[in-house]
Homo-oligomer: A and B are copies of this chain.
Amino acid sequence: MTTRWLSGQEHRTWLYVLTAVQLLESELDRRIQRDAGMPLAYYMLLAGLSEAPGRTMRMGDLAAFTNASQSRLSHAVSRLEKRRWVRRERHEVDRRVVLAVLTDEGYEALAAAAPGHVRAVRELLFDRLEEADLAALQDVAARVLDGVDGSGSARALLAERTVPPA
């Protein structure tokens, strides 16, 4: 079977998108690290927890919501525990389950980091997009998700939780 290579247009699109996304992420990471002393991944975890009922989530759900493996999340939560930003609790009924709970200290750290981060996202991304781009981008992202996300778990979580932060 002969390989169907990418067309020039496809190749160019791929390079542009990949580059833009990588630079965007690394720039956001650098800024939040500098301004708030935490990596972007921590922010995402804290933000996820802050929006959950009781500021609490099962480890598995938090992993799915942040696109992390369970192992990665477990290590990350251990690090967040050392900073006293998150606390682990055992589920009362199903003793296999571990709940990650955002502490008050964690909430404060998130609240301190949020304005700067949102400003950065706005400056680097949304200030450069038109109203019409938003819907189109989301549409494309949704289609890509359908292909990548085998079990559809990420999509389901996204559909539930797309309200702005409090």
Which A residues form the contact surface with B (CB < 8 A)? 3-17, 19-24, 26-27, 67, 114-115, 118-119, 121-129, 133-138, 140-149, 154, 158, 162-165
- Cβ-defined contact, B147 with A127, below 8 A: yes
Which one of B3, B24, B67, B162 lies within 8 Å of A11 (CB-CB)? B162
- Report how many copies the assembly holds: 2
B118 touches A16 (CB 8 A): no
Residues B147 and A12 in contact, CB atoms below 8 Å apart: no
Given contacts A124-B147, A144-B124, A148-B24, contact A3 B114 (CB under 8 A): yes
Query: In whole angstroms, what is the CA distance A143 to B9 when docked?
Result: 17
Q: Which listed residue (B27, B67, B126, B144) contacts A26, Cβ 8 A?
A: B67
Cβ contact of A164, chosen from B8, B119, B142, B145, cutoff 8 A: B8
CB distance from A113 to the nearest CB of B (A): 11
